[in-house]
Chain A
Amino acid sequence: MADKILMNKNSLAALKVELKEYKSALPVFEMKEQKLKEVVQAVENSIERLSEAIQQTTKETQEWVAVMAEKKIELNKYISVDDVITRVREVAGVTIHEFVDIKFEEQKVDVYRTPLWLDAAIEVATDQKTRELMLQIEQRKLEALQEELAEARRMKNALKEVFIPEAKENIRKIEIYLGDVERLAIGCAKLVKKKKQEKLQEV
């Protein structure tokens, strides 16, 4: 748009086509922005809920977490993730991964050689790890959605604030210019006609 415009009918026609395209693209970006805002809000809510649940579990576990310091118990081997299953979905043009399920490696617990607290620790730690992984997936999803939302906003604003007004202004300028040229041509033609008539009368 920064290029110098050609003040002719072809440019005018091209600009009118451009303006039409801009006007049809604007609602698309507005809708995309709206849809993305809704999804972003939903993901933010989900992140908030997960964060709260993680904090709550951490708080509740603190009462007895001291047992997890027992050196002879390799708690880590009981909380080993085998697979995280996600589903790919497209939301307003953004490809996102959604959490479906998590599978932990099955470890046999020897109830004679391990302490009683281990069962509670495995249960709370697998739940917490699941939430942490879900949170990680949601955060990545939010990142991708926010990026796309920013892009949609940029496009909407560019169309609304720059492209459409500029196209309209250029069309107005060309139309004024072409109108002036046309009026000048008519004026000239009238003057020529008048001169011719005066010459004929003299003869």
Chain B
Amino acid sequence: MIQGNLEYLMSSLPHLTFNDSDEVRKRVNSILSKYAGAAREGYDLIDILDFEAEKFLSASSSAIYQSIALEDIHETNFRNSSNAVLAEFANWMHWLKNEIAELRNARRQKLKQTDQRKRALPIEQGTPLQEEVQLLRLQWNKADELAVGHNSDFSELVTYKLKLMILLRWWSFDKKRGIETFQEITKPN
């Protein structure tokens, strides 16, 4: 990847769209992998992004950047982040995860109000895959909304990473491997 300021980094990163077509996957994968070079062949795309971003960020910003992960983005340290975009996304994710947690608890207890709880979440009831994609779209939209007004700054880099993580989660849903996993875990010992 081209050495230089954050603008260079942002302009050299592949453009992301909320799309799971093979074409988009291949383009994002190949651009990031090419920029990473042979030394990082086989690396996770997030690791490549973290590594490249590190070259343009201060040590403290880089540490924050590398610690961003969708699983624990709702944690206090992110919600209280000095970066407003990161803090807002983290607070929004905290709200979203609370809503999902309530829905999950209601479903587990098979409560009648499941449908009512679902209405608090702006998603339509469907298969677990359909619901997950809807949740990912919500997250994508939020990250997209937060990126508005930011140009080649740390906040844009943060939203870029969030979007990439959202896309990679979606792209990891694979029917063939899913069937293998299902068969593996359900076979009698």
* Residues of A bordering B, CB below 8 Å: 58, 61-72, 75-76, 79, 81, 111-113, 115-117, 119-121, 125, 128-129, 132-133, 135-136
How does the 8 Å CB contact mask read for B115-149 relative to A, with 1 for contact and 0 for none?
00000000000011111100100000000000000
Interface pair A62/B131, CB less than 8 Å apart: no
Q: List 16 A-B contacts (CB under 8 A).
A: A61-B182, A63-B129, A64-B128, A64-B130, A67-B128, A68-B178, A68-B181, A69-B175, A69-B177, A75-B181, A79-B186, A111-B104, A120-B128, A128-B182, A128-B186, A136-B188
B182 touches A117 (CB 8 A): no
Task: Give Cα A12 to B177, complex, Å.
Answer: 75
Would you give the shortest CB distance from A19 to chain B, in whole angstroms? 50
Say yes or no: A121 contacts B187, CB within 8 Å.
no
Of the four ranges (under 10, 10 to 19, 20 to 34, 35 or more), the interface on chain B belongs to: 35 or more
Please provide the 8 A-B residue pairs with the shortest distance between their CB atoms, ordered closest to farther: A64-B129, A117-B128, A69-B177, A64-B127, A65-B178, A68-B178, A66-B173, A69-B174
Given contacts A63-B129, A125-B186, A132-B187, contact A111 B178 (CB under 8 A): no
In the bound complex, CA of A125 to CA of B178 (Å): 12
In the complex, chain A residues whose CB is within 8 Å of the CB of B178: 65-69
- From B50-58, B81-89, B95-103, give the one contacting chain A: B95-103
> How many angstroms from the CA of A112 to the CA of B71 in the assembled complex?
8
Query: Which residues on A sit within 8 Å (CB–CB) of B128?
Result: 64, 67, 116-117, 120-121
Besides the known contacts A65-B182, A128-B186, 10 further A-B residue pairs in the complex with CB atoms under 8 A apart: A58-B182, A65-B175, A68-B178, A69-B173, A69-B175, A69-B177, A76-B185, A116-B104, A128-B182, A129-B185
- The distance from the CB of A189 to the nearest CB of chain B, in whole angstroms, is 81
Contacts of A125 in B (CB 8 A): 182, 185-186
Residue with the greatest number of chain B CB neighbours at <10 A, chosen from A76, A113, A115: A115
Which B residues are CB-close (under 8 A) to A67?
A: 128-129, 132, 173, 178
Closest to A78 in B: B185
What is the CB-to-nearest-CB distance from A193 to chain B, in angstroms, rounded to a whole number? 87
Q: Which of A62, A119, A133, A135 contacts B104 (CB 8 A)?
A: A119
Residue of B nearest to A63 (CB): B127
> Smallest CB–CB gap between A75 and chain B, Å?
6
Q: How far is the CA of A58 from the CA of B131 in the complex (A)?
A: 19
- Which residues in window 53-107 of B have CB below 8 A to A? 71-72, 74, 97, 100-101, 103-105, 107
Interface centre among B184, B186, B188, by most chain A C-beta atoms within 10 angstroms, is: B186
Chain A residues positioned under 8 Å from B186 (CB to CB) = 79, 125, 128-129, 132
Chain B residues near A120 (CB-CB < 8 A): 128
A112 to chain B: which residues have CB within 8 Å?
74, 97, 101
- Asked if A66 and B129 make an inter-chain contact with CB atoms under 8 angstroms apart, the answer reads yes
Given contact pairs A64-B128, A64-B129, A69-B174, A119 touches B181 in the complex (Cβ within 8 A): no
| A120–B181 alpha-carbon span in the complex (Å) | 15
Could you tell me the distance between the alpha carbons of A64 and B184 in the complex, rounded to whole angstroms?
16
Cβ A72 vs Cβ B188 within 8 A: no
Are B131 and A116 closer than 8 Å at their CB atoms? yes
Q: Using CB atoms, name the residue of chain B closest to A109.
A: B104
Q: Which residues does chain A contribute within 8 Å of B100, judged by CB atoms? A: 111, 116
* Residue ID in chain B nearest A111 by CB atoms: B101
Chain B residues near A68: list those with CB within 8 A. Answer: 177-178, 181-182
A116 engages B172 (CB within 8 Å): no
Residue on A nearest B123 in the bound complex, by CB: A116
Q: How far is the CA of A146 from the CA of B16 in the complex (A)?
A: 62
For residue B150, give the distance in angstroms from its CB to the closest CB of chain A: 27
- Taking CB atoms, residues of chain B closer than 8 Å to A65 are 175, 178-179, 181-182
